[in-house]
Amino acid sequence: MSTDERESAIGAEETVMIAAFEGWNDAGGAASAALDHIAEVWGSQQHVAIDPEDYHDFQVSRPSITRLPSGDRVISWPGTVVSTTPGPWHGERTLALTRGIEPSMRWRSFSAEVLDAAEELGVTTLVTCGALLLDVPHTRPLPTFVTSDDVDARERYGLEPSDYEGATGIVGVLGHEAQLRGITVLSVWVGVPHYIAHPPSPKATATLLGQLERLLGVSIDLGELPDEAEAWQRGADELTEEDEEIAAHVEQLESVMDETSLPEASGDAIAAEFEQFLRRRGEGGPKRTD
């Protein structure tokens, strides 16, 4: 199937769940921050909370105590919440969100609970989100990777299978278990510069949201994220200016990335960016007929 024949976004007939977890899969907190952003701008409502008692080591993920305005003290337990949002579709489509902390134990049972909730909501497509540390410079666009082990999904969206082998996190297990249930699974990752690993990482979060926009075929209001990304970049620039060793490393990474990049963007890439720009302005992009 040629690129022109592939669909650029998940069909409106699909019910989508997006999942992200703090922890090993979430460099710079980029993936979990992307889910938090979607939940905020599109107004999510809790569907079910997964009881953390069987899945978390509370010496690793500790509960927190807060004081209410009334003076009462409450304990907040680490866990996972499955929520729903109508998004921008005005009742025509429901989006499910799974946001939590990577569990410490019983991952198969945990995944089963999440997927039971997904099936209750009629989810047909699961999009797992992650962020990983890479040898990439903060001065260039951050790389993203969208893959699927589902043959039909790869043909439909023009994706590649993942060639990763090695240790996996909860998003890998959840995606595997979802595929066994007949749910189409897409995996979206963003690369975070390894020398600036501490959260937040707003540039990576905004980059990840850009990929989710393309998959969902809608615009996501980024709010203050672009400004936060610029501030993050200025801070990273100051770091490199103050440390000659880091500066030399960044220069080397820039050279490698520039050498491996295409000399010019493809027509499809330019058109996709233009359509996304128009959607942000609320004008709607031109219909692709090529």
Distance CA 79, CA 96 (A): 17
* CA 247 distance to own-chain centroid: 29
Report in angstroms the alpha-carbon separations of 276 from 219, 225, 283. 7, 16, 10
Q: Within a domain: residue 290? A: no
Domain that holds residue 130: 3-54+78-280
Cβ count within 10 A of residue 112: 14
Residue 193 burial by Cβ neighbours in a 10 Å radius (0-12, 13-18, 19+): buried
Kindly state whether residue 70 falls inside one of the protein's structural domains.
no
Name the H helices within the chain. Answer: 30-42, 107-120, 151-157, 170-180, 202-216, 225-242, 244-260, 267-280
CATH code assigned at 207? 3.40.50.10900
- pLDDT tens for residues 239-253? 888 988 989 999 999
Quickly state the pLDDT bin for 89 (edges 50, 70, 90): confident
* Count of alpha carbons within 13 angstroms of residue 73, beta-carbon side: 3
Residue 73 inside a domain? The answer is no
Residue 230, in any domain of the structure: yes
Please give the model's pTM, rounded to 2 decimal places. Answer: 0.85
Total of domains in the chain: 1
> Mean pLDDT over residues 50-76, rounded?
92
pLDDT of residue 270: 43
The DSSP 8-state label assigned to residue 287 in this structure reads P
Residue recorded with tokens 């969902």: 216
Paired sense of beta strands 80-85 and 73-76, if any: unpaired
For residue 282, how many other CB atoms are within 10 A of its CB?
7
pLDDT of residue 53 exceeding 90, the answer is yes
- Give the mean model confidence (pLDDT) for residues 120-125: 96
284 band by pLDDT with thresholds 50, 70 and 90: very low
Would you say residue 64 lies in a domain? no
Instruction: Determine, yes or no, domain membership for 61.
Output: no
For 88, the 3-state DSSP assignment is coil
Residue 117: pLDDT band with limits 50, 70, 90: very high
On whether residue 50 sits in a domain, the answer given is yes
Q: Looking at the predicted structure, is the pLDDT value of residue 209 above 80?
A: yes
Q: Is 74 helix (H, G, I), strand (E, B) or coil?
A: strand
Contact 115, 170 (CB under 8 A): no
Q: Is residue 213 part of a domain?
A: yes
Which residues lie closer than 8 Å to 30 by C-beta, 6 or more apart?
131, 190, 192, 199, 200, 201, 204, 205, 207, 208
Question: Does residue 225 carry a pLDDT above 60?
Answer: yes
Quick count: other Cβ atoms within 10 Å of Cβ 50? 19
